[in-house]
Structure 1
Amino acid sequence: MVAVFPQKHLTDIAEWHRMGEAGIFPPESRLELIEGEILTMSPIGFNHAGHVDRLNRIFAHLWNQGVTVRVQGPVQLGDLSEPEPDLVLVKPDTDDYTTRHPNAADVLLLIEVSDSTLRFDRTQKLRLYATHGISEYWIVNLIDQCLEVYRQPQDGDYLNQSVLTTADSIDLVALPALRVSVAAILQTDRRKPL
């Protein structure tokens, strides 16, 4: 008798979109397509949601400068992945991304807010973003109250990795004139966010 092992069925972006259009997943589902696998994501807690709202408020003024701010919207990475990062700054699009999702070339900054997902965001998501050339990836680490910054993607990792505390500020690679206070992100500084 020949041994039969369970096999994983991987899906691609086209099949993923067809399943969504067919209503296969309940509307309240929190799902992401990561490297061909459909993953159920953790429910969003109060602290997580509040930090995403804070990030949105910090970066909202960039709309006036032609930068699109997307909150928990899909980003297409190749044919097998469509994560929904907590916040992404993307280049402007003539139709405001109504005919496609942004891809890696559109991304200026990608941010994940992490509490229960910290390990996943530091490993699988980091590898995914680096592999697809996301130039700057931040993890707002709610467990250790710090900002993890990843830059210079190469071979599925980031050559430049740093951890910033509430005493620090950071300039974005794609928007060097913009300086962001880590204290404003983590809300230890009640002053104006920028």
Structure 2
Amino acid sequence: MATEVMKRLINVDEYYKMAEVGILKPGDRVELINGEIYQMSRGAASPIGSKHGSVVKSLARILNEIFKGDAVIGIQDPVRLDENNEPEPDISILKYRADDYSQAHPGSQDVLAIIEVADSSLHHDKQVKMPLYANYGIPEYWIIDIATRQITVHLDPVGNSYSSQQVYGIGDEIVLLGKTIVVSDLLKF
């Protein structure tokens, strides 16, 4: 008689319990996607590099300036998509709330755009996160590729993909939610 082997996935409550009891440590860079814990920027991948950190900081500063009072900017904060998915994107642009989401993490209905900065995570950002974000109707998803110094903007989620994409490089401008961002302001290295 053959035994069926099934994968045991976890939910957000179990994920938080693992942190509470010390299985997941405060410094661990992990996120829950499709019931599985992904360890980011550790192990085989290198820690967050200075270019990655610089782009996230520049982007956070620029977005906080241009969206002041119009949106909340999340920086490597959780977004709870459902009970099995709580990624921590580099940047999330959220509907404005005066309480800055103090009562609960934002959900997919709160997200205006998500931006990932990719160095060693490019494959993961394209193959795992992009379908996840599209599936949950995130209207705009950017991948900033440090190696090529390009930004790919994905729009119009349909199923687990986006029906439109545009690549921008140094010298280009991108309109994000009605605001203009100059690519060279982000990729200063």
Is the 8 Å Cα contact of residues 62 and 69 (structure 1) preserved in structure 2? no
Distance of 1:150 and 1:142 partners within structure 2:
17
CA distance in 2, matches of 1:96, 1:136: 21
> In the alignment, which residue of structure 2 is the partner of 1:108?
112
Q: How many residues align?
A: 184
Partner of 1:186: 187
**Alignment correspondent of 2:174:** 170
8 Å CA contact 2:19, 2:26 repeated in 1: no
Q: 1:58, CA displacement in angstroms?
A: 1.1
Q: Does the 8 A contact of 1:151 with 1:160 survive in 2?
A: yes
- CA–CA separation in structure 2 for the residues paired with 1:8 and 1:127: 21
Distance 2:96 2:122 in 1: 30
- 2:70 counterpart residue number: 66
Structure 1 residue 81 displacement after superposition:
0.7
Task: Tell me the secondary structure at the aligned position of residue 64 of structure 1.
Answer: coil
Q: What is the DSSP-based 3-state SS (H/G/I as helix, E as strand, rest coil) of the residue aligned with 1:32?
A: strand
**Is the contact between residue 109 and residue 136 of structure 1 (CA under 8 Å) also seen in structure 2?**
yes
Unaligned runs of 5+ in 1: 189-194
SS of the aligned residue for 1:65 comes to coil
Q: Provide the rounded CA distance (Å) in 2 between the counterparts of 1:41 and 1:64.
A: 30
1:35–1:80 CA contact under 8 A, matched in 2:
yes
1:85 maps to a residue whose letter is: P
Alignment of 1:110-149 (within 5 A): 110-149=114-153
Q: Counterparts of 2:94 and 2:76 in 1: how far apart (Å)?
A: 13
8 A Cα contact 2:143 2:153, kept in partner: yes
TM-score scaled to structure 2, two decimals? 0.91
Query: Could you tell me which residue of structure 1 aligns to residue 24 of structure 2?
Result: 25
Shift of 1:4: 4.4
| Inter-partner Cα distance in structure 2 for 1:183 and 1:123 | 26
Could you state the TM-score of these two structures normalised by the residue count of structure 1? 0.89
Note if contact 2:135-2:157 (Cα within 8 Å) is conserved in structure 1: yes
Q: Name which of structure 1's ranges 110-119 and 85-94 shifts more when overlaid on structure 2.
A: 85-94
The alpha-carbon deviation at position 167 of structure 1 amounts to 2.1
CA contact (8 A) 1:62 1:68 kept: no
Cα distance, 1:66 vs structure 2: 2.9
Alignment match of 1:54 (pick from 58, 62, 76) = 58
Q: What is the percent sequence identity of the aligned residues?
A: 39
